[in-house]
């Protein structure tokens, strides 16, 4: 009986703590983010209104070991995240964690920019601190090590999820992340357009066990080695269900596994890596465990990012097109947690199998008529039939969301001029203006007489989940037969 009374008392304390948790509003009640945090007790929340926050009290923010949440008004809304900005003005970091923070210490739904530090331009975690950082945009920060985020110390294990780590720079290593003897979990993150001499995206060394899951790592640049990941000296990295594509370096465009004082192993499974295992440089006594399900096929992003003429990174759209080989390419035995989502908040598995990268896609079967398109013809509209997988109801399609575009390169999106749902056959029929499609193709392509082109059709269901499908049609000119 004594044990039962203790259990009941413990539960009562938890319920009481939950009931009295307070919410502190910035700037309505507190002028700075730090002053609101200082007023918090365990399990309280700081809510930050949209706006730009700078100056003392709004940089080098310290949760002081408290299990509290610091967030925007709606961390799941991209527009809210983009408009709730911590501007460090080059005078410090956004957040620093060194007082033993746990996973209950959470930062969510913020943009952190213009930060600078020796370790971590935007965020630094060390001294056994393991906070949760989610739904954040970390961009245009710089540091000596870890342009965006640095993690140090063997018991430092932050969980970084659903974040966009873009256009950060490091003077020595890790344009996106610097991991020193730490074991973070980096999940559902886009790591793109970051710069460093070594490890354009990630620089990891000394004994640790970092985990990278369902990330899209692309467009990062190293002036020396490892455009994506530089891993050495017993930093035993695990990568799964991720895409590493389009990164560049003088030496090892994607991954380098080094032996500088200690052998290193890296485990890779169910990933799309440009160049495959032949593109990984592995030093003597180091190991690459090339597991099952790895591929080397263009992932077909909606729009890859690129470096413009001013040497600035132009962010891409890293959703997967309907014909992507990364769709349903994960571990067939993987079972997602009930609340697990992709970077957009969609359920982590929308098809039969988990997708690679940050994006989950409902793959629709798309049939376009005619199969051969004469660019000079003025005949009737282009017809398209859309059918969803059996687990989805065609009546749930938001017909106003449907668009057609060309998959390769920048493309305008064309909406239908007519649509009709056949619930009995579970099919949706839409028609597109033929002249608009012909004009799009003529302007964007230098098409020879018998070229083929893949057209992508996308849309959303009434609950916001996206579907995409694609079909290849033949392009003919002038008097060519249809």
The pLDDT, as a whole number, for residue 380 is 76
In a domain, 202, yes or no: yes
Same domain, 384 and 288: no
| Domain stop point among 290, 320, 350 | 320
Give per-residue burial for 27-53: e unless 16+ CB within 10 Å, then b.
eeebebbbbbbeebeebbbbbbeeeeb
Same domain, 442 and 379: yes
CATH of the domain at 448: 2.60.40
Token pair in block for residue 210: 């970092």
| Domain stop point among 259, 290, 320 | 320
Same domain, 410 and 316: no
In a domain, 345, yes or no: no
CA distances from residue 467 to 52, 319, 380, 387 in whole angstroms, order as listed:
35, 11, 26, 10
CA 305 to chain centre: 13
In a domain, 303, yes or no: yes
| Domain stop point among 286, 320, 354 | 320
Helix (H) or strand (E) holding 35: helix 33-39
CA 186 to chain centre: 10
DSSP string, 178-219: EEES---EEES-EEES-EEEE-SSEEEESSB--EEES-EEES
Same domain, 297 and 396: no
CATH of the domain at 140: 2.160.20
The pLDDT, as a whole number, for residue 311 is 75
Same domain, 442 and 312: no
Same domain, 306 and 436: no
- Burial status of residue 448 (CB atoms within 10 A of its CB: 0-12, 13-18, 19 or more): exposed
DSSP string, 236-255: -EEEES-EEES-EEEE-SSE
Same domain, 282 and 394: no
Same domain, 204 and 268: yes
Same domain, 273 and 216: yes
The pLDDT, as a whole number, for residue 445 is 56
With contact defined as beta carbons under 8 Å apart, do 458 and 467 qualify?
Answer: yes
pTM score, two decimals?
Answer: 0.89
- The count of residues in the chain is 482
Which domain, by its residues, includes 174? 21-320
The domain tally of the chain equals: 2
Q: What is the mean pLDDT of each run of 10 residues along the chain (482 residues)?
A: 40 51 97 98 98 98 98 97 98 97 98 98 97 98 98 94 98 97 97 97 94 97 96 92 97 93 92 95 93 97 85 89 91 94 92 94 92 79 93 94 75 88 96 88 59 87 89 75 43
Same domain, 386 and 307: no
């Amino acid at each position: 009986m004594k044990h039962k009374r203790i259990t009941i008392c413990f539960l009562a304390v938890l319920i009481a703590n939950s009931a009295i948790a307070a919410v502190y509003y910035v700037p309505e009640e507190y002028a700075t983010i730090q002053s609101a945090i200082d007023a918090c007790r365990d399990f309280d929340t700081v809510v930050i209104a949209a706006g730009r926050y700078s100056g003392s009290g709004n940089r080098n923010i310290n949760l002081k070991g408290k299990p509290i949440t610091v967030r925007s008004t709606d961390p799941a809304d991209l527009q809210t995240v983009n408009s709730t900005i911590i501007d460090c003005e080059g005078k410090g970091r956004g957040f620093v964690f060194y007082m033993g923070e746990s996973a209950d210490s959470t930062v969510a739904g913020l943009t952190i920019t213009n930060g600078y530090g020796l370790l971590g331009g935007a965020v630094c975690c060390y001294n056994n601190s393991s906070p949760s950082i989610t739904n954040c945009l970390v961009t245009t920060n710089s540091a000596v090590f870890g342009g965006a985020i640095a993690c140090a110390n063997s018991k430092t294990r932050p969980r970084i999820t659903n974040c966009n780590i873009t256009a950060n720079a490091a003077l020595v290593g890790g344009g996106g992340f610097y991991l020193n003897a730490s074991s973070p979990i980096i999940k559902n993150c886009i790591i793109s357009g970051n710069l460093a001499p070594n490890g354009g995206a990630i620089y990891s060394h000394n004994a640790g066990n970092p985990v990278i899951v369902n990330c899209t790592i692309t467009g990062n640049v190293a002036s020396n080695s490892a455009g994506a990941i530089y891993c050495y000296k017993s930093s035993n990295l695990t990568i799964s269900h991720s895409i590493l594509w389009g990164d560049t370096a003088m030496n090892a465009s994607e991954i380098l596994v080094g032996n500088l004082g200690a052998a290193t192993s890296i485990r890779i499974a169910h990933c799309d890596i440009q160049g495959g295992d032949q593109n990984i440089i592995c030093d003597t006594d180091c190991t690459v465990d090339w597991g099952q399900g790895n591929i080397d096929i263009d992932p077909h992003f909606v729009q890859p990012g690129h470096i413009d003429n001013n040497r600035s990174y132009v962010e891409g759209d890293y959703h997967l097109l309907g014909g992507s080989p990364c769709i349903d390419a994960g571990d067939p035995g993987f079972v997602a947690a009930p609340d697990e989502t992709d970077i957009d908040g969609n359920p982590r598995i929308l098809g039969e199998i988990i997708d690679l990268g940050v994006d989950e896609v409902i793959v629709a079967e798309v049939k376009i008529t005619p199969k051969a398109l004469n660019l000079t013809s003025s005949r009737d509209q282009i017809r398209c039939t859309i059918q969803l997988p059996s687990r989805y109801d065609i009546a749930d399609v938001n017909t106003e969301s449907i668009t057609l575009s060309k998959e390769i390169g920048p493309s305008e999106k064309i909406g239908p001029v007519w649509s009709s749902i056949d619930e009995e056959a579970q099919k949706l029929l839409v028609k597109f203006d033929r002249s608009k499609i012909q004009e799009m193709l003529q302007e964007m392509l230098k098409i020879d007489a018998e070229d083929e082109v893949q057209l992508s059709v996308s849309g959303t269901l009434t609950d916001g989940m996206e579907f995409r499908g694609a079909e290849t049609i033949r392009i003919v000119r002038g008097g060519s037969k249809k």
